[in-house]
Amino acid sequence: MNELAIARTTHTGEILEIGGHFGTGGTEDAKYEYDKAPPEILEKVRLIEAICKRYSVPLAAAAIQFPLAHPAISSVVVGVATPEEVKQNIELMNVDIPSELWQEFKASGVLREDAPTP
């Protein structure tokens, strides 16, 4: 998320919709801001994947639910092409994510300590 855009909402009362938050994952050909993902981003993605796996939480569930913890975010826009994808996204929104996962994200440096979490 663009921190400047989010900070601006604090003063203006605007709200944001988040889209394109899934990215391309941690593969070697992954993209980051429309370019080849640098090694440090790939390393961070792999750490996120490992933490999610430890808690048996699908990475996609964390990706959908995390932005909604911020008071400036009104919705998360997810792409869907089939009724099955709609169902999957609803299921991901309903995954119970333990607070320990978010705490581990912060402890590992994946998230800032002051980041709002679900």
pLDDT digits (tens, 9 = 90+) for 34-86: 677 788 888 888 999 999 999 999 999 999 999 888 887 888 888 788 999 99
Look at residue 28 and tell me whether its pLDDT is greater than 60: no
- State the burial class of residue 32 (Cβ atoms within 10 Å of its Cβ: 0-12, 13-18, 19+): middle
Contacts for 40 with CB less than 8 Å, ≥ 6 apart: none
Q: How far apart are CA 99 and CA 14, in angstroms?
A: 28
Question: Cβ(95)–Cβ(65) under 8 Å?
Answer: yes
Global model pTM greater than 0.85: no
User: Distance (Å, rounded) from C-alpha 54 to C-alpha 52?
Assistant: 5
Give the SS3 label for residue 84.
helix
CA 83 and chain centroid, separation? 23
3-state secondary structure of 38: coil
Determine the pLDDT at residue 78.
Answer: 82
pLDDT band at 19 (very low <50, low <70, confident <90, very high): low
